[in-house]
Amino acid sequence: MQSPDDENATYRKKREQESKGFTINATETANPENVIQLIDDVAVNKNNIDDSKILEERTDKLIEKTPDLNELHTNDGYGNEGVDKKMEEHDITLVTTAVRGREGKIELTITQHPEYEKEYTVKCQAQEVKSTPTRKRNKVVFDTEKCTGCPLKTECNILKYKGIYYFTHADYLKNKRNNNISKIPNERRKIRPNVEATIKEFKNKTKAGKLKVRGQFKVSLFAFAIAMSINFGRIYRLIMSNNEIFAGILANFKIFVVQILFFIKLTQFLARTNKKSNNFPNIAFRRA
């Protein structure tokens, strides 16, 4: 039943967990070399919109705010075909902490030729085969004789189809996304959990994650205000922990205050001058 006090609120059931209202998606910087990490994007949507769809729509905004973005860490819920195309278009490596959907026992790795875009290589535990293009897809034919000694042959669906495997460019992008986490250093594989602590800050002092406001606009105001307060808190703690930065900011602040005081005095002086120049007797005109 639709909530009578909020017509925009929606209902969703995910993994046996029911929820209603809106979702807040936050993105923050996560470069280990940064002195400070800040939230740089917040999006509020109806809670029945898939996370991957939200990322697909927000990618251009993220790039606008963070032009040097080249690696993005999310959980498995943010990956889909549209997102993969966006990441390829902007040359961004999407790292997901888990694989969406059921994991197969046969691990396939699809790589694209660096010069010939329509040429791929598919590798399994037993062999590596180059693809040939068909009218709509790509095709590889594995040597079934090499599969006879593979311990996973009973689990292999490709062997059931006589070693023939068809795939598209979208399948290649999905495979690439799923394997990205294994290609980066170990210290960068656990970056994403930090954002979970950030989301807890959004929910801090809310009763079971429920807000006292209604409507997407007011929820957006709440989300933006919390994001700004989190950023201000991080900046303040950084300043207070670094005496050199604090001294520099204090010096600039003093200059700023002096400039403001000078501007106020100048404005008051000009106002008094203008008042004196206009201090002439009034002239009334009457008909004779």
Query: Is residue 7 located within the same domain as residue 89?
Result: yes
**21 vs 226 pLDDT, higher one:** 226
Q: What are the φ/ψ torsions at residue 73 (nearest 5 degrees)?
A: -110, 125
Amino acid at 138: N
User: Which tokens go with 140?
Assistant: 């590889």
Q: Span 37-65, mean pLDDT?
A: 91
We report the CATH number of the domain holding residue 27 as: 3.30.420
Q: Span 4-22, mean pLDDT?
A: 74
CA distances 219 to 54, 118, 131, 172, Å, are: 17, 46, 50, 38
Q: Span 85-95, mean pLDDT?
A: 93
Query: Is residue 4 located within the same domain as residue 72?
Result: yes
Q: Identify the bridge partners of residue 65 per DSSP, sorted by sequence position.
A: none
Query: Is residue 2 located within the same domain as residue 73?
Result: yes
Decide if 15 is inside a domain.
yes
Q: Span 123-147, mean pLDDT?
A: 89
User: Which tokens go with 16?
Assistant: 């046996």
Decide if 106 is inside a domain.
yes
Q: Identify the bridge partners of residue 20 per DSSP, sorted by sequence position.
A: 11
Query: Is residue 76 located within the same domain as residue 92?
Result: yes
Decide if 280 is inside a domain.
no
Decide if 130 is inside a domain.
yes
Q: What is the DSSP letter of 73?
A: E
Q: Identify the bridge partners of residue 164 per DSSP, sorted by sequence position.
A: 141
Distance, in Å, from the CA atom of 224 to the CA atom of 210, rounded to the nearest integer, reads 16
DSSP helix/strand/coil, 254: helix
Distance, in Å, from the CA atom of 143 to the CA atom of 163, rounded to the nearest integer, reads 7
Amino acid at 166: Y
Query: Is residue 78 located within the same domain as residue 92?
Result: yes
Q: Identify the bridge partners of residue 165 per DSSP, sorted by sequence position.
A: 140
Selection from 77-81, 259-263, 272-276 with the highest mean pLDDT: 77-81
Decide if 219 is inside a domain.
no
The pLDDT tens digits of the residues spanning 204-248 come to 878 877 788 888 888 899 999 999 999 988 888 888 777 776 666
Decide if 41 is inside a domain.
yes
Model confidence at 1: pLDDT above 70:
no
Output the pLDDT for position 274. Answer: 59
Model confidence at 268: pLDDT above 80:
no
How many domains, in total, are found in the chain? Answer: 3
Decide if 177 is inside a domain.
no
Output the pLDDT for position 120. Answer: 94
Q: How many CB atoms sit inside 10 A of residue 176's CB?
A: 19
> What residue numbers bound the domain in which 143 lies?
102-169
Output the pLDDT for position 287. Answer: 44
**In which band, very low, low, confident or very high, does the pLDDT at 191 lie, cut at 50, 70 and 90?**
confident
Model confidence at 253: pLDDT above 80:
no
Query: Is residue 67 located within the same domain as residue 79?
Result: yes
Output the pLDDT for position 263. Answer: 77
- Residues 113, 167, 89, 63: is their CA dihedral positive or negative? negative
Query: 27-48 burial, b for 16+ CB within 10 Å, e for fewer?
Result: bbeeeeeeeebebbebbbbeee
Query: Is residue 51 located within the same domain as residue 156?
Result: no
